Amino acid sequence: MNAPPAIEGALLGRLRAATEGLAFTRGQIHRFYDDWIAGARFEKAPSGFVHAVVSGAEDAANLPAPPSAARDRDALCLALAALRTPDRILQFFGAAVAAGLFDGAANPEARPALRKRLTGEMRTALGIESTRAVLQDSRLEALTSRDALWFDPGDLLPAIILARRRLCKIESTDDNEQPVTGSGFLVGPSTVMTNFHVVKHLPETLADGGRLRVTFDYSATTGLAGAESSIFSAQPDWRAAMSPLASTGPDEDYWWDDKTKRDAWLAEVAKTLDYAVIRLDGAPGLQRGWYRLDDLPRETPSAVWVLHHPGTEGHTITDGPVKLTKPGGHRIFHLADTARGSSGGLVLNEEGAPVGLHYMALEAEAPPAAGAPNQKNPVLNVAVALAAIARDLTDRSLLAKVSEPAGIRPYRGCLDGRHPVFGRESYIRLMERLWRGEPQMLMVHVESRDPPLERPGKSFSAEIVQALFRPPEHHHIVFRAGDIKVDAYQVAVDTVKTFAADQIERLPTKPDTTSPAYVRRLVGAVAQIISERLSNKLVWITLDDLEKHDLSDASGREFLATLYSQIQRMPNLRVLLIGLPEGTTIGGMDESDVARSFITARDLDQLDEQLTAWLKMRGGRDANITDEAYNFLAAIMTSVAGTDAPLEALASFVADHVTGAADTLFGKAIERPAGDGG
């Protein structure tokens, strides 16, 4: 490392003023500085805290008020000054602020405001301002800002994980077949939102759905940048809702800093919100979740995070303060960096909640004139407030339609890239009704057959549900009927342990003898904990093996009746009863509150037809395969099915022995990184 530069007296004075009254521990600053410098790898930087302080103190010994390395605040200022440039100084100071090194005795509620103030004071002391900007689609310029805000990433991490699942890249072609790209995010199970100006060149009806497509997981760090499972085409009637492109304001510099002109522009564009809601051919939101436009923060953000796809880049997140924004307004002026392709980006507030749709940047061509009262922001980025979009959709009776799924189906005949789904079309169609809560309970029966199968493969019903509705938006709890009869208390403990281990003590202790009253209390306690801890998720309770372990006795009936009663009280609860004899009734249950699915004789007998249909769905329609070849392959594969759970046996054989060849011939059905639970 090179020696630190000469200490400038003026810079040292500004740093002393900005650090006046700071509460910190020198040892923590020392360790943090050394780690930060090692990671930054700047040219011409000190090797560490001690090097910076000692060398700087010697270099500044001749200043009128020389700093002392023995004084903590002087040592901090010397270490900051050794970073050479205002940008580097602010980067380190902001990181230290975000790490809580200057929190002192401030209580948790006061820390965000304290950290914002400290970072702002340092930025002002260093004289750091912003730079440039303009309207933003794939072919227009954008903002480059040096402003930065600093927050504890632990507070934002859950929100960022969800946002990455819901962020997408928008790709289309204009009339000259030139590519146009932008960003977007899920606002329904089958709908994504972007700017209207990103898709304004497209006709209202698409003859070719591939002309407009969205790609999720487009990032090198997801490992799914090109996965087919992450790509969705638009429906022919793709435009679920839109608001036209708004005026970009007067053709003059700094009009946005003039309140009169800014208010006039805001009034002019109040009804032109530059958004489009794209209807997809599929329902990726059922696995990824989406942002509900009827449940948005009301407070005006003081800072924002923007997630977007600038240019050809993958997932990108930038941050910046909010400027000039009115409470309850329809535009958010901010200083988060964006670039070409950022239009349609997701804007989160400082707590990670969705607040805006990024769409435009404003840039002055000339620097601000000295002393000009209305020339403070040479550049501003602009987002449309999601609350304003929600009001517009509500006024036009379109808000509910945004949340309608386009249909639930396995991707290319597979649940997770390996395990195929044969038949069960009617069952999968019922999943959409169940997801809506119309109704909340589903019973899976086996159609009578002679001779009956010992294992028809009912448990695969549970696997389908878990594959279609994935965490973190969904939580699955699976009971085995035999376990309920043998040790209901332990089943309850194991269940609660998966999401609220600290609440196990609330479960009623098992009595000496199992009784319906105890089962009722136990199930009720589990349901109460679910209501408290999983209220923001859809909770799926599956009770399997009901044909093997008779729950028609007193305690069993009480268990089922209690589950049913909890459904009436918990709109986020879904119950699957697998294998229950068709004639079994549940006390108090209304037949209209339950859907029924049957594993039919056709599902079990016509395996060759089902396998042929699956091969075509898997990719055979696009390959040069004759009917004779299909029949030959089906005969080979169905010969292993047997009569014991034939659907499961066939699925296992295909997963183990056919998947690799199908991936080579047709391309992979889905790609998912190791350990990805979503």
pLDDT in tens, 522-546: 888 888 888 888 887 888 888 877 7
Tokens 């649940």 locate to 415
pLDDT value at residue 149: 52
Q: Distance between CA 676 and CA 678 in Å, rounded?
A: 6
Q: Distance between CA 441 and CA 435 in Å, rounded?
A: 10
Q: Distance between CA 248 and CA 226 in Å, rounded?
A: 35
pLDDT value at residue 672: 32
State the average pLDDT over residues 255-280: 92
588 φ/ψ sector (left φ>0, alpha ψ -120 to 50, else beta): left
Query: Looking at domain 439-604, does it have CATH number 2.60.120?
Result: no
φ, ψ dihedrals at 443, nearest 5°: -110, 130
Name the range with the highest mean pLDDT among 131-135, 357-361, 587-591.
Answer: 357-361
pLDDT grade, residue 189 (50/70/90)? confident
pLDDT grade, residue 145 (50/70/90)? very low
Please check whether residue 182 is in contact with residue 168, taking contact to mean a CB–CB distance below 8 angstroms.
Answer: no
> Largest alpha-carbon pair distance within the chain?
102
Cβ neighbours of 281 (radius 10 Å) = 15
Give yes or no for residue 186 having a pLDDT over 60: yes
pLDDT value at residue 141: 33
pLDDT value at residue 277: 95
Element (H, E) at 433: helix 425-436
- The strand pairing partners of 172, in sequence order, are 180, 212
The 10s digit of each residue's pLDDT in 281-308 is: 878 887 788 898 988 888 888 889 999 8
Q: Which range, of 136-140, 410-414, 539-543, averages the lowest pLDDT?
A: 136-140
578 φ/ψ sector (left φ>0, alpha ψ -120 to 50, else beta): beta
Q: Residue 350's closest CA among 534, 187, 115, 121?
A: 115
pLDDT grade, residue 659 (50/70/90)? confident
Higher pLDDT, 263 or 563: 263
Please check whether residue 283 is in contact with residue 140, taking contact to mean a CB–CB distance below 8 angstroms.
Answer: no
* Tokens found for residue 154: 């632990």
pLDDT grade, residue 388 (50/70/90)? very high
φ, ψ dihedrals at 211, nearest 5°: -70, -20
Which residue type sits at 252?
E
Give yes or no for residue 137 having a pLDDT over 70: no
Domain ranges of the chain: 9-126, 153-401, 439-604, 606-666
153-401, CATH topology level: Thrombin, subunit H (2.40.10)
- Looking at the chain, the whole-number percentage of residues with pLDDT higher than 90 is 13
Q: Distance between CA 544 and CA 576 in Å, rounded?
A: 8
pLDDT grade, residue 115 (50/70/90)? confident
Give yes or no for residue 385 having a pLDDT over 90: yes
pLDDT grade, residue 512 (50/70/90)? low
pLDDT value at residue 348: 93
Give yes or no for residue 481 having a pLDDT over 80: no
Higher pLDDT, 483 or 383: 383
State the average pLDDT over residues 79-88: 86
Q: Which range, of 23-27, 75-79, 304-308, 516-520, averages the lowest pLDDT?
A: 516-520
pLDDT grade, residue 330 (50/70/90)? very high
pLDDT value at residue 130: 45
- Round the average pLDDT of the chain to a whole number and report it: 78
pLDDT value at residue 545: 75
State the average pLDDT over residues 468-473: 74
Please check whether residue 361 is in contact with residue 382, taking contact to mean a CB–CB distance below 8 angstroms.
Answer: yes
Give yes or no for residue 253 having a pLDDT over 60: yes
